[in-house]
Amino acid sequence: MAQDSSKTLKIALPQMAPVWLDRARTLEKVIGLIGDAAKEKADLIVFSEGAVPGYPFWPELTGGAVFNDHMQKELFAHYSDQAVIIEDGHLDGVCKALKKADMACYLGIIERPRQRSGHSLYCSFVYIDKSGVIGSVHRKLQPTYEERLVWSPGDGAGLVTHRLGEFTVGGLNCWENWMPLSRAALYAQGEDLHVACWPGNLRNTDDITPFLAKEGRSYCISVSGLMRRSDVPGDIPYYKEIKDLMPELAANGGSCIAAPDGSWVLEPETGVESLRFAEIDPKFVRRERHNFDPAGHYSRPGITHLTVDRTRLSLASFRDAED
């Protein structure tokens, strides 16, 4: 069936190896990929979980749960130093590049927000629109397993969707995509293009991507990173110990896109950095919603109803005296 090119959306799917634990150089790489995608007139580019400055692979490798351990403290301090502080303008260059490219973006970052003390870290998924404006910052609700030794639990403030052309797009971090109520919160807002970001492994993306597409009757993008032993830089604390323990391929990618019927638009790709493109058609969503619409005709809100608290959590609320 022919596509209506005036309504389709062009997706840029980079499978990127960050310049590990180096915020500035990884942001340069992100901006370069935005420029490459602009040459193909992409509408949306998506990046992996924690792409800037990279995923924390070391706790699993180095006994990260040892209490008050000097190695873990040093690595955490270095990671914190390289994390993204949005309030300090660390994403301004990305926003400027997106505005110039007339392109929207989902970018995985390790965020160090000043509003939460300025020292705790959050795995955040940032949506930036085509005008270069940050539309939402979703902090991962529950870090997974050893991630809890590094990242803090987020809140519901970023459980929002955004209109992008003919689509309504939303995104979740890694294993949040296995959480039915988190998915339902996005379905309820009309999501028909879902972005799932992962640190990178085929075992995460090959089964859940078509499943999410079929459940939501939506397009589903799984974007993954790449991490090789050769990507461990020589200027980080405990470089030798980490490199000796790092697998040859700690994150093998697996980025892919599935259509609303679960078929592949782009099949999973592993082992290489790449930048692939796909054009998606909203008519495919409408066809598949004929027999199942999870937040529409197939939902029963009078019987089961989800309540979502989208408050941005903080330790204190202040009431100042009026002038």
**The domain 9-288 belongs to what CATH superfamily?**
Carbon-nitrogen hydrolase (3.60.110.10)
- Is 95 a residue of the active site? no
**pLDDT for res 1:** 52
- Is 74 a residue of the active site? no
Write the DSSP symbol of residue 84. Answer: B
Report the distance separating Cα 111 and Cα 124, nearest Å.
6
- Using DSSP's 3-state secondary structure scheme, residue 245 falls into helix
Q: DSSP labels for 19-80?
A: -TT-HHHHHHHHHHHHHHHHHTT-SEEE--TTTBT----HHHHTTTTSTT-HHHHHHHHHHH
Q: What is the four-CA torsion angle of 112, 115, 118, 121, rounded to 10 degrees? A: -30
Q: Answer for the pair 281, 3: CB distance below 8 angstroms, yes or no.
A: yes
Write the DSSP symbol of residue 321. Answer: P
Which position among 95, 174, 197, 220 bears the catalytic label? Answer: 174
Q: How many other C-beta atoms can be found within 10 angstroms of the C-beta atom of residue 241? A: 14
Residue 152: name the closest of 140, 161, 162 by CA. 140
- Is 96 a residue of the active site? no
Q: Residue ranges of the alpha helices (H) in the chain?
A: 23-39, 58-61, 70-82, 92-101, 180-187, 202-205, 208-216, 239-245, 282-288
Q: Nearest-5° angle of CA 292, CA 293, CA 295?
A: 150
pLDDT tens, per residue, the chain with 323 residues:
556 667 999 999 999 999 999 999 999 999 999 999 999 999 999 999 999 999 999 999 999 999 999 999 999 999 999 999 999 999 999 999 999 999 999 999 999 999 999 999 999 999 999 999 999 999 999 999 999 999 999 999 999 999 999 999 999 999 999 999 999 999 999 999 999 999 999 999 999 999 999 999 999 999 999 999 999 999 999 999 999 999 999 999 999 999 999 999 999 999 999 999 999 999 999 999 999 999 999 999 999 999 999 999 999 988 898 75
Which position among 123, 140, 256, 269 bears the catalytic label? Answer: 140
Q: How many other C-beta atoms can be found within 10 angstroms of the C-beta atom of residue 40? A: 10
Residue 264: name the closest of 307, 202, 213 by CA. 213
Which position among 49, 176, 269, 288 bears the catalytic label? Answer: 49
Q: Can you give the residue ranges of every domain in the chain?
A: 9-288
